[in-house]
Structure 1
Amino acid sequence: MLLTIPELAFLVLGFFIVSALYSSVGFGGGSSYLAILTLVFTSFFAIRSTALVCNLVVVSGSTYLFHKKGYLDFKKFLPFVLSSIPLAFLGARFRLQEHIFFIILGTALIISALALIVQSVSISKSNEVNPNYPSYVTYLLGAGIGLLSGLVGIGGGIFLAPILNYMKWDKSIKIAALASFFILVNSISGIGGLLTKGTFEVPWVEAIALIIAVLIGGQLGVRMSLNQFTGKSIKLVTAVLVLIVGVRVLLINGFQFSFLNA
């Protein structure tokens, strides 16, 4: 066991809250899992692997419930999935230097937080439309976000959903369903990439406790979403938290580490 009981209790509580908040808007919580884990784990292989496993647990349940309610349009989602899976696998296979990993992670957290803030204050349901975009647009989006998700160890839905909302690609609930499904397949692909590269490293004592926490929290959150819970205030609060930790990761774990080892 790598952590003390108080440290593990802190992680369990944090992961429960994050999974409930994120799943309510179709996300798995991977970005915040990464941010929290950087506070207690020293191995970024363990950080990436544990975040992906927890992501997978949350979005598996969310995807099932979205499908049960009829919000999963597999034909429309397919271009995103087909292009993202191989790129997420490839991204996960990269052996990044530790400071490079934290710089990418911190930057990704900051960008996703800012995107969530802007999305929450500027997008309204009354403006939702359903335009037909060229198929290459969806393939390119899936590929780019898939690669980024594999590199930093998240499913990528937190990047995809704000973009699709800006594009007015579909209704919010369907975008949330796509984000959940997108995270599911990319988390599986990312874990596959880590396994084949020999960098899948999970501290299972801690991970089991975290898996139970995110399973319960994720089910709670997605049920709030399906019961017409908008999630606007939740996204704002979550975005602020992710922004704060993203800045910390970038400055302390990323740039400071690189300066010390220059």
Structure 2
Amino acid sequence: MLHILFALLLAIVALLYSSVGQAGGTGYVALMGLAGFAPAVIKPSALALNILVSAIGCVRFYRAGLVTWRTCYPFAILGLPFSLLGGALHLPAGMYQPVVGILLLVAGVQMLRPVSGRDGEAHRKGPPFMPSLVAGGVLGIMSGVTGVGGGIFLAPLVLALGWAGARQVAAISAVFNLLNSGAALAGAWVTMPDLPAELPLWLLCVGAGGYVGSWLGAFYLKPETLRKILSFLLIAGALRMIGSVVV
């Protein structure tokens, strides 16, 4: 029963995160940490779950006409190789939680700021190439080291700079999560290939949650609602990680 309950909690995390184009990496990491799994299991498992949920989101957002080559490829050019590198690197246990927690808290607070009225032109042109290239590289290595995908950091940045609207940001994040999680898992596999026996059940549950969540995000949730959900998830995840260190 405990195994089933844990899998259902993972499914709820996947549903909430996928509605805003995220794969749920921070949620999976927090849950597995609470359940007592070792870091060598948490990182590759979270990345494997990220890949499935973000793949479902990519398909859903593509069918909704929100995924375009122009908005996605600049982030991937450096994001992929740096995610691969980050996947092979590992933060000391005492640094992992506070570093990720602070990053999430900053991103979550940023999401609470009102959207600037100047971003209509930026939406039409798409993200600028060079800044997107740099952002993809920096966030790529962050996602590889932490095992949380990277889209959770990319979305607030793109929204704050007015490079895309809320729905398109969700689509960009889904693609970024898929590519970076795949590269990071390849890098992590070289040094710590431990995967739990429960992973097939987890994949089944997060797949179902990701399917429902991406459907809600692509077709039904309003942009303002997407921002509020993402902000809540970021701040909740940050407080959980920072709180675990303080305690």
For normalisation by structure 2, the TM-score amounts to 0.89
What stretches of structure 1 of length at least 5 have no aligned partner? 257-262
Equivalent of residue 129 in structure 1, options 108, 116, 120? 120
Please give the residue correspondences for 1:53-72 in structure 2 after superposition, counting only pairs within 5 Å: 53-72=48-67
Question: AA paired with 1:243?
Answer: I
Question: AA paired with 1:104?
Answer: V
CA drift at 1:134: 4.4
Question: AA paired with 2:221?
Answer: F
User: Are the equivalent residues in 2 in contact too, given 1:113–1:239 (CA < 8 A)?
Assistant: yes
Question: AA paired with 1:145?
Answer: L
* Cα RMSD, aligned residues only: 2.2
CA drift at 1:155: 1.1
Q: Does 1:94 align with 2:89?
A: yes
Aligned to 2:156: 162
Aligned to 2:6: 11
Equivalent of residue 206 in structure 2, options 214, 217, 226? 214
Aligned to 2:44: 49
CA drift at 1:184: 0.3
Q: Does 1:192 align with 2:186?
A: yes
Aligned to 2:110: 115
CA drift at 1:161: 1.0
Q: d(CA) in 1 for partners of 2:236 and 2:74?
A: 34
Once the two structures are superposed, residues 119-155 of structure 1 have per-residue CA deviations (whole angstroms, 9 ceiling, x without a partner) of: 5xx238x764132564211111111111111111011
Q: d(CA) in 1 for partners of 2:8 and 2:226?
A: 17
What stretches of structure 2 of length at least 5 have no aligned partner? none
Aligned length: 244
Give the match's secondary structure for 1:130. Answer: helix
Aligned to 2:196: 203
User: Are the equivalent residues in 2 in contact too, given 1:103–1:255 (CA < 8 A)?
Assistant: no
Question: AA paired with 2:148?
Answer: I
User: Are the equivalent residues in 2 in contact too, given 1:130–1:170 (CA < 8 A)?
Assistant: no
Aligned to 1:40: 35
Q: d(CA) in 1 for partners of 2:207 and 2:240?
A: 27
Q: d(CA) in 2 for partners of 1:31 and 1:96?
A: 15
Q: Does 1:24 align with 2:16?
A: no
CA drift at 1:10: 3.2
User: Are the equivalent residues in 2 in contact too, given 1:46–1:202 (CA < 8 A)?
Assistant: yes
User: Are the equivalent residues in 1 in contact too, given 2:83–2:141 (CA < 8 A)?
Assistant: yes
Aligned to 1:260: none
For normalisation by structure 1, the TM-score amounts to 0.84
User: Are the equivalent residues in 2 in contact too, given 1:25–1:231 (CA < 8 A)?
Assistant: no
Q: d(CA) in 2 for partners of 1:159 and 1:142?
A: 10
User: Are the equivalent residues in 2 in contact too, given 1:24–1:231 (CA < 8 A)?
Assistant: no
Question: AA paired with 2:166?
Answer: S
Once the two structures are superposed, residues 56-80 of structure 1 have per-residue CA deviations (whole angstroms, 9 ceiling, x without a partner) of: 1111011012222322111332110
